[in-house]
Amino acid sequence: MTIASMEAANPLERGEFRGNAREYFGIWIVNVLLTIVTLGIYSAWAKVRRNRYFYGNSVVAGHSFDYHARGKQIFIGRAIVFAIFITIQIVAAFYPLFGIVVPFILLAVLPWLISRGLRFSARVTSYRNIRFDFVGTGWRAFLSILLGGILAFLSFGILAPLASRWLYRYMLNNLRYGDRAFSTDPKLGPLYRVWVLPALMVLVGLVLAALAGWMVYSFDQASDPDVMLDETQLQLRIIGTIYAAMIALFIMYAVAGIFYRVGVRNVVMNATLLDGKHTLFSDLSRGRYFWIVLSNLIVMVLTLGLMRPWAAVREQRYVVEHTGIVFMGDLDDIMASIQATGTAATAEYLDMEGFDFGF
């Protein structure tokens, strides 16, 4: 069978987003008002309402996703994390030397929180009444996420594609749909190819940062090179120089980050299989996605945040519609097979999702 005939027999099932800004605005404004009135407590329930709307309107092959979390679970998870940090602050106030070991405590606890958060997010998500699951451990999270991030940072971003490969192999190779495993092994070559442009952007950002800093520092000296500054003026000039350089660098770094993440997403998704044969798909345009993010930000600033629902729906629609999967075989037969072997396992998740720690 030729590739063309295989594609014809197994067409790409692209995602579809059926939500709209008008519907979501009603959910969003109630969430905002109740979160303010309850001093943030309602934000846990607001997250549930928001996710149920976006999951329920994200459709693949005529069926939507479902989000089963309860606000109480999310609230308890956040309360636990909040209590941990408050306890650390109180103990450090009475025993200052304790502050030295705090970073090591956080490094020890954070991977476990990350793995539990990923497990929670997977287990409260379903498609066609079949739950997802995540089986990654805290130790693997430390190796794949924290260690990879440290290596990327220490190498000034040169090893970022390697860190991304570790990250997504951990996240996707431990993801399950029913009892069927996802698997991915993105190659470093394609990851480095999508890394080149963001890396060049960061270099340009360094140049712009240096130029912005120089312009601020030398302001008014161009017209009068002999101008003398007192100590206060010199300090203000130095502070202004640092801020100008940092702002310019931050802007370019944020732009580069968007381009990098979108490129990595495409590479990883297109290298991912479900059950060893059903291929995931992503063809996000980096330029188009950046324009959506930028224009959304401008519109939200100009409307003092009131257009946030429109921006969220617009971004979600673009991402969903440029994501898909190629099922190898009849979809109903595939789902029947997964349901037959996965129902017993996924039914237990109804009372075992755990808590959402926000990681």
CA dihedral 18, 23, 25, 27 (to 10 degrees): -100
Answer whether residue 146 is part of any domain. Answer: yes
- pLDDT at residue 346, as a whole number: 43
Domain limits at 68?
1-18+57-185+334-359
pLDDT digits (tens, 9 = 90+) for 277-321: 999 999 999 999 999 999 999 999 999 999 999 999 999 999 999
Answer whether residue 7 is part of any domain. Answer: yes
Residue spans of beta strands (DSSP E) within the chain = 12-17, 58-60, 63-67, 125-127, 130-134, 175-177, 180-184, 272-274, 278-282, 323-326
Answer whether residue 103 is part of any domain. Answer: yes
Answer whether residue 94 is part of any domain. Answer: yes
H helix and E strand count, the chain: 13, 10
Instruction: Please tell me the total count of domains within the chain.
Output: 1
Answer whether residue 193 is part of any domain. Answer: no
pLDDT digits (tens, 9 = 90+) for 218-273: 765 554 555 555 667 667 777 777 877 788 888 888 999 999 999 999 999 999 99
Higher-confidence position of 23 and 210: 23
Answer whether residue 112 is part of any domain. Answer: yes
Residues 6+ apart with CB under 8 A from 88: 98, 102, 105
In 3D space, the residue among 277, 268, 253 whose CA is nearest the CA of residue 204 turns out to be: 253
- pLDDT at residue 352, as a whole number: 44
Lookup: tokens for 60:
């693949």
List C-alpha distances in Å: 67 to 56, 124, 127: 8, 6, 9
Asked if the model's pLDDT at residue 169 lies above 90, the reply is yes
State the pLDDT confidence band at 351, using cuts at 50, 70 and 90.
Answer: very low
CA 316 to chain centre: 13
Higher-confidence position of 142 and 56: 56
pTM value? 0.85
Answer whether residue 228 is part of any domain. Answer: no
Q: Is residue 274 packed enough to be buried (19+ CB in 10 Å), middle (13-18) or exposed (0-12)?
A: buried
Inter-axis angle of helices 43-56 and 71-94, to 10 degrees? 140
Answer whether residue 76 is part of any domain. Answer: yes
